[in-house]
Structure 1
Amino acid sequence: MNTAAAFADFRTYPLISALTAVQTLADRVQVTWADGRISPFHYQWLRDNCPCPLCVYTVTREQVLEIVDVGQDLIPSQVHIDADGCLYVDWQEGHISRFDPGWLRAHAYDEESRAERRASKPKASLWRSDLQLPVFEYSELMTDTGALRQWLLAVRDIGLTQVRGVPTEPGSLKLIAQRISFIRESNFGVLFNVQSKADADSNAYTAFNLPLHSDLPTRELQPGLQFLHCLVNDAEGGESIFVDGFAIAQALREEDPESFQALCEIPVEFRNKDRHSDYRCLAPIIALDALGQVAEIRMANFLRGPFDASVDDMPRLYRAYRRFIEMTREARFRLMQRLNPGELWCFDNRRTLHARNAFDPATGARHFQGCYVDRDELLSRILVLQR
């Protein structure tokens, strides 16, 4: 439907149900849909969301109206459903608003509509050691937007994917990461080389085993996605290990709710320091979103500072911390696989904890390259591809 409401967004909104009746009340209108649902819309909300070219700039689709610039006691002089099926509101101030029924239904805030939207939001698919790893081909991801969309949905919902057939020339990783968006630079560079070296500024650049962790928990915002691309892997050992941090958090919530609560409430400081930088962040190990769902895991024992909690909280924190790490070591959660040249991991760094077994550099070369892309870029790319 081509109405003024089209200016409100770059997306289109299908007509789920037509408007059949509208009733004006003291501070709102109440509309009835063809499927029987009833949705109230306050006058303040309708005026605030007027999609006309005077209220929304048609080029950027961004609002120019600020609600404080219209009267607080908004009253329409006329409200009806017009010939196009739109909600037509003629305000006493002389302004006219028309609302596309598809857009209006998509943003209705009666309880049934809100519950419907919450139910339709993407949900994390929790996994354990028996995960059927999603595997994708590099050539398809570089040329086929359908394959690209499926890959990004797997990264979003499962949090761990593998790509095969990637060129093994140094720097090749940049091309596939940029199929999502720009790369996030850190103090380790745009692309970082994971190799054993004598002057290492991180345990990642040694041959040691690395326990399960998220990268850069020392930052206020941990990188969203991490890529690890294998160029050479002739050394013995060095297998990759992954666990779904969300699955562990959910199991902890069910099996030991007191420990879960402690890790959500008591902040822990993580530190990343070398000769030229010193990053520190104080935050809980488990972060919840606005709806109370697990949104982030922040963990790297080798980057953790001494606990700074109250005398009463210290035993509670140690009990919860020990239990969380114990769970990451349980076979039911762990997936282990060796990465071969031309393969890469792409995973949600704020969800999927990763580890590496020790390797023997005397038995052969081992060279990985890595980079980061923020989670926001992944979600934005998916939405654009879906439109």
Structure 2
Amino acid sequence: MPTTAAPRPVVHDAESADRVVTVTFDDGTRARFHPVWLREHCGCAACRHPQTLERTLDPLTVPLDLGARVRVERARLVCEFSDGHTSAFDGAWLAAHAVDLGYDGLGLPPRRPWSSGATDPPRHRWGAVVDDDGALTAWLTDLWTHGATLVEDIPDDPDAGVRLARRVSPLRPTNFGETWDVVALDDPNNVAFTPIELDTHNDLPYFEYAPGVQFLHCLRFDARGGESVLVDGLAAAHTLRDTDAEAWELLTSVPVAYRFVDGADDLRWTTPVIVLDHAGEVHEIRHHLALAAPPALPVERLDAFYRAWRTFAALLRQPDRRWHHRLRPGEMIAWMNRRVLHGRRAFDSGGERRLRGCYVDVDEVLSRLRVLTRTV
């Protein structure tokens, strides 16, 4: 059944006082705007390029003491600015960009941390996601909000998972190439290419800009053991913030050195384990115990730092935070690499466990989601 689009907000009333423009929308909600902010974001042909929509107005020419007289005309806000310019603003645009109504500049749905009972990732069918923009939008929304998804019914084709990834973005090449097979090797350069257990971790923390989304497509699995494990680092970080202020302060401020070394590469980066954004919210997790280089910390700070990191690692290992799944051929997990940690149980090297992996950058994924959200 087709869904009914939500009504677009329209401007019902407006007033300007003390250099604050207050708009009342038809649903009764109100939002405040600064005159300089409004003037800078005028969308007329004199202020924006008509094709690229980039600003041609020099914002530094707008007086900081700018005033505005306002009125409502054809359900739009009309501003007569004291610099002589007149601008009109659509109600839907104003509502979408009002800080008072939740605008944060990202244009994304809120992330949903998960932990209790290790909630199963949302499931999606490969054929629908590859062929239908509506299904692609639903999958990308779940990938962003939940942090992980399980894709099912993938054709018997080793490149089918990569095809889905490329539907969103070009692949992100790394020191492992554009794609790689996770399989036990005789001469591995990474413990992923062995049959031993892998503790949950974020991939490639030694890159300045670690890949944003990871895909693992199961091609063959007849070994005993080897179940995949996912845990939501965002939820664990929130628990740490709420229960251990000292550990939170250390893990969000003290840089940890990560390093990958083999015959061809020596990759290094330093970063806190928990990286915060400008608002103090968790932006990303960089946790990989196997690739941590010696901490560049004075001896007197190490006791507190080790305690903090072990506290966070213990949260990540709590059984009720972990989702376990034995992948079947034709299934693929995709997750936000800098939020959700992944690992696996050890498996019997007498059987074969072969997964095809690749990465894409998060910017391309979120751009695709925004475009689809406004067009589907």
TM-score (norm 2): 0.89
Residues 1:81 and 2:69 aligned together: no
Gaps in structure 2 of 5+ consecutive residues: none
In structure 2, what is the equivalent of residue 250 of structure 1? 238
Does 2:11 correspond to 1:18? yes
| Amino acid in the other structure paired with 2:373 | Q
Q: Percent identity?
A: 38
How much has 1:176 moved relative to structure 2? 0.7
Following superposition, the deviation at residue 18 of structure 1 comes to 2.4
Render the CA deviation track for 1:153-209: whole Å, top value 9, x for unaligned: 111111121111112322222211112222111111111111222232211112222
Q: Does the CA contact (< 8 Å) of 2:143 and 2:335 recur in 1?
A: yes
Tell me which moved more, 31-40 or 146-155.
31-40
Seen in structure 2, the aligned counterparts of structure 1 residues 56 and 14 have a Cα distance that, compared at 3 Å, is: farther
1:103 aligns with 2:93: yes
Q: Distance in 2 between matches of 1:273 and 1:165?
A: 37
Given candidates 21, 35, 48, the residue that maps to 2:40 is 48
By how many angstroms is 1:38 displaced? 5.2
Contact 1:128 1:335 in 2 (8 A): no
RMSD of aligned residue pairs (Cα, Å) = 2.6
Distance in 2 (alpha carbons) for counterparts of 1:202 and 1:120: 35
Q: What code does the residue aligned with 1:113 have?
A: L
8 Å contact from structure 1 (residues 14, 102) kept in 2: no
Number of positions where the alignment pairs a residue of Structure 1 with one of Structure 2: 370
Q: Which residue of 1 aligns with 2:292?
A: 304
- More divergent stretch after superposition (312-321 vs 117-126): 117-126
**Alignment correspondent of 2:331:** 343
The aligned residue for residue 51 of structure 2 is 59
* 1:125 partner SS: coil
Q: Please give the TM-score of this superposition, normalised by the length of structure 1.
A: 0.87
The alignment status of 1:384 with 2:371, answered yes or no, reads yes
Whether the 8 Å contact between 1:128 and 1:243 is mirrored in structure 2 is no
Looking at structure 2, the residues matched to 104 and 54 of structure 1 have their Cα atoms a distance apart, in angstroms, of 20
1:4-38, CA deviations, whole angstroms, 9 ceiling, x for partnerless residues? xxxxxxxx996425232433x46454445555555
Deviation readout 1:270-301 (Å, 9 max, x if unpaired): 10111111111111101122222222111111
Q: Which residue of 2 is the match for residue 5 of structure 1?
A: none
Which residues of 2 match residues 1-387 of structure 1 at below 5 A?
Answer: 15-23=8-16, 25=17, 27-34=19-26, 39-75=31-67, 79-82=70-73, 84-91=74-81, 93-109=83-99, 112-114=100-102, 121-361=109-349, 363-387=350-374
Q: Which amino acid aligns with 1:305?
A: A
Q: How far did residue 98 of structure 1 move?
A: 1.4
SS at match of 1:146: helix
Structure 1 unpaired stretches of 5+: 1-11
1:312, distance to aligned residue in structure 2 (A): 3.7
Q: Deviations over 1:202-250 (max 9, x none)?
A: 1111222211111000111221111001111122221111111112112
Query: Residues of 1 paired with 2:290 and 2:14: CA distance?
Result: 63
SS at 1:133 equivalent? coil
